[in-house]
Amino acid sequence: MRDVRTIIGEPDPHGWRRAFLLGGAGIAAAVAASGTARAQAAYGTRSARSDVPVTHHHTASVEGIGVFYREAGPTDAPVLLLLHGFPTSSHMFRNVIPALADSYRVIAPDYPGFGQSDMPDRATFPYTFDRYADLVDGLLDQLGARRYAMYVMDYGAPVGWRLALRHPDRITGLIVQNGNAYEEGLGAFWDPIKAYWADGSAERRRALNVLVAPATTKFQYTDGVRDVTRIAPDNWVHDQALLDRPGNADIQLDLFYDYRTNLPLYPAVQTYFRQHRPPTLITWGANDQIFPASGAHPFKRDLPDADLHLLDTGHFALEDKLDVMVPLMRDFLAQRVAPRLRGSGPAIR
List the chain pLDDT tens, one digit each, 349 residues: 444 333 333 444 444 444 443 444 444 444 444 443 443 333 333 334 457 899 999 999 999 999 999 999 999 999 999 999 999 999 999 999 999 999 999 999 999 999 999 999 999 999 999 999 999 999 999 999 999 999 999 999 999 999 999 999 999 999 999 999 999 989 899 999 999 999 999 999 999 999 999 999 999 999 999 999 999 999 999 999 999 999 999 999 999 999 999 999 999 999 999 999 999 999 999 999 999 999 999 999 999 999 999 999 999 999 999 999 999 999 999 999 988 765 444 333 3
* Pair 91, 238: CB distance under 8 Å: yes
Identify whether residues 44 and 181 lie together within a single domain: no
Radius of gyration of the chain (CA): 20
Range of the domain at 336: 70-341
Identify whether residues 210 and 113 lie together within a single domain: yes
Identify whether residues 167 and 103 lie together within a single domain: yes
Identify whether residues 224 and 150 lie together within a single domain: yes
**What pTM value is reported for the model?**
0.85
How high is the pLDDT of residue 340? 75
347 occurs within a structural domain: no
Identify whether residues 235 and 291 lie together within a single domain: yes
The total number of structural domains in the chain stands at: 2
Q: Angle at CA 196, nearest 5°, toward 191 and 197?
A: 95
Identify whether residues 112 and 31 lie together within a single domain: no
Dihedral angle of Cα 165, 171, 173, 174, to the nearest 10 degrees? -40
* 337: DSSP letter: I
CATH code, domain with 231: 3.40.50.1820
Q: Tell me the CA distances in angstroms from 243 to 33, 223, 266, one per residue in order.
A: 41, 20, 29
How high is the pLDDT of residue 207? 97
* Pair 74, 345: CB distance under 8 Å: yes
59 occurs within a structural domain: no
Identify whether residues 40 and 88 lie together within a single domain: no
The crossing angle, in degrees rounded to 10, of helices 129-143 and 156-166 is: 60
How high is the pLDDT of residue 266? 98
Q: Is 315 among the catalytic positions?
A: yes
275 occurs within a structural domain: yes
Active-site residue among 84, 91, 309, 315?
Answer: 315
